[in-house]
A and B are shown apart, each in its own frame.
Chain A
Amino acid sequence: MNEPLLEVAGLRKYFPVRGGFLRRPVGEIKAVDGVDLTVNRGETVALVGESGCGKSTTGRTIVRLEEPTAGEVVFHHPERGPLHLESANSRTLRAVRPHLQMIFQDPFASLDSRMTVSSIIAEPLVINKTATGQRLKDRVAELLSLVGLRPEHANRYPHAFSGGQRQRIGIARAIALNPDLIVCDEAVSALDLSVQAQILNLLEELQRRLGIAYLFISHDLSAVDHIADRVVVMYVGQIVESGPVEQLYNAPKHPYTEALLAAVPQPDPRVRTRPKILTGDVPSPANPPSGCTFHPRCPYAQPICAAETPPLLQVGEGRASACHFADTLPLTGAVAAMSPPAGL
C-alpha cells in the first residue's frame, strides 16, 4: 500500500553569493538545507511555505533542474528499481524522465509559442520513441481528451488559448509518457478561481484513473487542503512540520504552521478570526537566525529557541515537528469556513 516512490534524504542546495572584483564566492544562500521527504505511489504530498522558503528549489532539485549540493534523491523506477538521481548520469536521467515529470506555474512561459499544441504534446513521445505515425496521432488525441481539450485544438498555437487551457496543455505533455510522479510547482496559482477548480479536479481525476503521485508545491493552503494527503511545511530551507493533511490542519504541532493557517483569508465573513499576525518577514537564507530559524517571529519563543536548533522529531503517527515545545504548546488549527450555498 504505502510503497515509496520517491525518497529524499538530507537534500541541500546552496547557491553561491559572489562579490568583489573577481566575483569570488563570498558566502552562500542555503535555499534548501537538509530536507527529508517521501512520496508514496499514488499519493499527493504538498510542500507549502512562504515565498523564498525553498519549496520550489526543492522541487527543481529533485527533478535535477538544479544540481543538488548534498543529499540523496532515490526514485523507485518501475523496471530498474531504486535509482539515485542526485548522482545519476544523463543516460539514467533519461530513463527516469518519462516517469518523473513536472508542471510549471506560468502556463504562458512554459509552452513554446512556435509549436502547435499537437507537437508540444507529441514531443516527449517522439523523443522517447514511444510512438510514431498514426499511433502518435491517436495518443495525442487521447491525451487531449484526457485533459478536456477538443481534437480540433491540436493544430492551434498556445497563444490561442486561455490560461486554464494552457495549463491543460502542460498537463497533457506531462502525462504523455504515463509518469508515476509529477512535481506540480504552483500549478494552479496563476489561474482564475473557476479555472483553478477545473485544474484541481483534473489533477485528482488523473490520479484516480492513472495512479499518478503528485508533489504539489503551493502557497495556497486552501487548495492544499483540498488535494493533498500529506503536507510538508518548509521555512527558510528546512522542514518545520509534516503530517497527514487533516491532522496537521486541525492540530498543528509547530507555531509556524499555526501562523500560516491563521493567516488564510477564509471565505466566510463570520470567521473573522483576526489572525495572530506574524510580524516581520521571512529571514534571508543567506544569513538565517541562530537556533530555530523561526524564533524571531515566534510568539512562543523561549531562550532555548535562539540557542539550539530543534531537530525534526516524530510527534505521533506519521507526524513530525521541529519545535522544542511541540508536545506542550496549545496550538490552534484552522477554523472551518461555512459550507458553500447549495446549487440552484
Chain B
Amino acid sequence: MSQLYAAGDDVHATARHEESHLDSSPVLSVCDLEVQFPTPLGLVRALNGVTFDVPRGKVLGIVGESGCGKSVTARAVLQIIEKPGRITGGSITLRGESETTEITGLGPDSKRMRALRGSEIAMIFQEPMSSLNPVYTIGAQIAEAVLIHQTPDRDEALRRAVDMLRQVGMPHPEAAAASYPHQLSGGMRQRAMIAMALSCNPTLLIADEPTTALDVTTEAQILELIRNLRDRAGMSIMFITHSMGVVAQLCDEVIVMYLGRIVERGSVDDLFYDAKHPYTRALLRSIPRIGGNRKAPLEVIEGSVPDPHHRLAGCPFHPGCPKAIPGRCDTTVPAPSTAGPGHTVQCHLYQADEIGHPERAENV
C-alpha cells in the first residue's frame, strides 16, 4: 500500500471506508462545554457553553481570532488543557469504531484517557519543531506511538513508521525515518507529524493551525494531503485555523468562535455566501483579498477583544457590533436560531421569525 493518503487509489482506503460506521452519527459531540482558568487576577472563562458535532468523514473548521477559545476547545477534547484550567461543565462524547466514550467522565490521567490519545484521537500542532523530540529520529518517534498502542514488535513498528511516511507523501521515506527533526524542512516536519498522528488509525484527527507556520506553497501541499485523508480514507477532522482562506479551501462545515462562544455555524457555503452574524461578516470584510479593492481601506472590527478577566454581560460581540441593540445585546446572551438547514447563528438580530431580515429585527 503505497501513497494511500498522498496520491492514487488504494484498496486499503476503500476497505477502511467500508468498515467505518455507515451511519451518519457524528464522530464527536460536544455539548455545553465550559472551561475555566482560575488565575490570581480572577477567573478566566475560556469556554462558555460550546455545543457542536464533528460530522463523520468531514472536515469541521473552527475559526476565530486569538483568545476566542478555539485551541482550548481542541485541548479539552483530549483533556490536555494546561493547568490550572479545567473543564467545569458540559460533555464530550466520542463515537469510535467500536464503542462510545464519554470523555468528560474520564480523569485526565486515567488509563482509558491515555489509551484514547493517539489511538482514537490524534492531534497535530502548529509548530512541528516543538512537538518533535530533537534527540530521536523521526522513525523512532512514529514507532513509539505504534509500540504503545498497537504492536510490541520493534521492527514491525519501524516498518510501519516508514510506511506511514510514504503514505503522507514524504519523499525518500526510509531516509526521512532515519533523520532527526532538524534535518527536515518545515513542510517535511509537518508531514512527519501527520504520519505520527495517523500511525494508529485514529477515528478523529484534530489539527491545531498545522499550516500557520508554513509557506503558502507548502501550505497548499499540506492542505491537499488533508483533503486526501478525508476523501480517500474517510478521516474525520477538526481543523482549527484563523485563516479564512484555509477554511474556504478545506472545510465542509465551519464554526465561528468569539470570546469562548460559538457565534455562527454552518456549511462553508453558508458562511462565505450567506454569513449572518455581524462578527462573521466583519471578519470576512477585514481580510485583504487578491483582486479586491486595492488601496481602499480594509474594514476594521471596532474595539478590541475585551479583557478576559472581565465577565461581559450579554452577547460577547456587543461592544464592537455596529448593530448592537441597547438593552438587549448587552444584557441577554442570544440563543441559537436557525438560519437555514444546518446553519445556526447566535445573534439577537435573527431571533425567531426574523431570520434573514435584520432590518426588521432592528425595530423590535
Seen from chain A, the residues whose Cβ lies within 8 Å of a Cβ on chain B are 50-51, 162-165, 192-198, 200-201, 204-205, 219-223, 225-227, 245-246, 249, 259-269, 271-272, 274-275, 277-278, 280-282, 334-344
Q: A266-B249, A269-B269 are in contact. Are A225 and B281 (CB under 8 A)?
A: no
- A-contacting residues, B170-190, CB 8 Å: 171, 185-188
Q: Say yes or no for B135: interface residue by CB 8 A criterion.
A: no
Of A51, A162, A226, the contact of B298 (CB 8 Å cutoff): A226
Instruction: Establish whether residues A194 and B283, one from each chain, have CB atoms under 8 Å apart when the complex forms.
Output: yes
Of B171, B217, B220, B290, the contact of A337 (CB 8 Å cutoff): B290
Closest 3 CB pairs of A and B: A336-B291, A265-B245, A226-B288
- Chain B contacts of A267 at CB under 8 A? 244-245, 247-248, 272, 284, 287, 289
Q: A50-B215, A341-B281 are in contact. Are A226 and B294 (CB under 8 A)?
A: yes
- Closest chain B residue, CB of each to CB of A48: B216
- Closest chain A residue, CB of each to CB of B271: A269
- A-contacting residues, B310-329, CB 8 Å: 322-323
| Min CB–CB distance B298 → chain A (angstroms) | 4
- Chain B contacts of A223 at CB under 8 A? 288
User: How long is the Cα–Cα vector from A280 to B304 in the complex, in angstroms?
Assistant: 41
Of B66, B286, B290, the contact of A261 (CB 8 Å cutoff): B290
Chain B: number of interface residues, binned into ranges: 35 or more
| Min CB–CB distance A56 → chain B (angstroms) | 13
Q: Which of A269, A282, A336: most chain B Cβ within 10 A? A: A269
User: How long is the Cα–Cα vector from A163 to B67 in the complex, in angstroms?
Assistant: 12
Q: A201-B298, A281-B188 are in contact. Are A340 and B284 (CB under 8 A)?
A: yes
Instruction: Establish whether residues A219 and B216, one from each chain, have CB atoms under 8 Å apart when the complex forms.
Output: yes
User: How long is the Cα–Cα vector from A336 to B293 in the complex, in angstroms?
Assistant: 11
Q: A194-B300, A341-B284 are in contact. Are A51 and B65 (CB under 8 A)?
A: no
| Min CB–CB distance B226 → chain A (angstroms) | 12
Q: A51-B215, A201-B300, A260-B216 are in contact. Are A265 and B291 (CB under 8 A)?
A: no
| Min CB–CB distance A271 → chain B (angstroms) | 8
Of A192, A264, A266, the contact of B66 (CB 8 Å cutoff): A192
- Chain A contacts of B250 at CB under 8 A? 265
Instruction: Establish whether residues B272 and A225, one from each chain, have CB atoms under 8 Å apart when the complex forms.
Output: no
- Chain B contacts of A337 at CB under 8 A? 289-292
| Min CB–CB distance A115 → chain B (angstroms) | 23
- Chain A contacts of B286 at CB under 8 A? 193-194, 196-197
- Chain B contacts of A282 at CB under 8 A? 185, 215
Q: Which of A164, A266, A281: most chain B Cβ within 10 A? A: A281
- Closest chain B residue, CB of each to CB of A51: B215
Q: A51-B186, A265-B243, A267-B287 are in contact. Are A277 and B216 (CB under 8 A)?
A: no
User: How long is the Cα–Cα vector from A109 to B82 in the complex, in angstroms?
Assistant: 24
Q: A260-B216, A274-B224 are in contact. Are A268 and B272 (CB under 8 A)?
A: yes
- Closest chain A residue, CB of each to CB of B215: A50
Instruction: Establish whether residues B297 and A201, one from each chain, have CB atoms under 8 Å apart when the complex forms.
Output: yes
User: How long is the Cα–Cα vector from A272 to B223 in the complex, in angstroms?
Assistant: 12
Q: Say yes or no for B83: interface residue by CB 8 A criterion.
A: no
User: A193-B65, A265-B248 known; 14 other A-B pairs, CB under 8 Å?
Assistant: A50-B217, A194-B300, A194-B301, A196-B287, A198-B300, A223-B288, A225-B294, A226-B295, A263-B216, A265-B219, A266-B245, A277-B224, A339-B292, A344-B323
User: How long is the Cα–Cα vector from A221 to B304 in the complex, in angstroms?
Assistant: 26
| Min CB–CB distance A199 → chain B (angstroms) | 10
User: How long is the Cα–Cα vector from A269 to B270 in the complex, in angstroms?
Assistant: 10
Q: Say yes or no for B94: interface residue by CB 8 A criterion.
A: no
- Chain B contacts of A272 at CB under 8 A? 248-249
- A-contacting residues, B232-257, CB 8 Å: 242-250
Q: Say yes or no for B282: interface residue by CB 8 A criterion.
A: yes
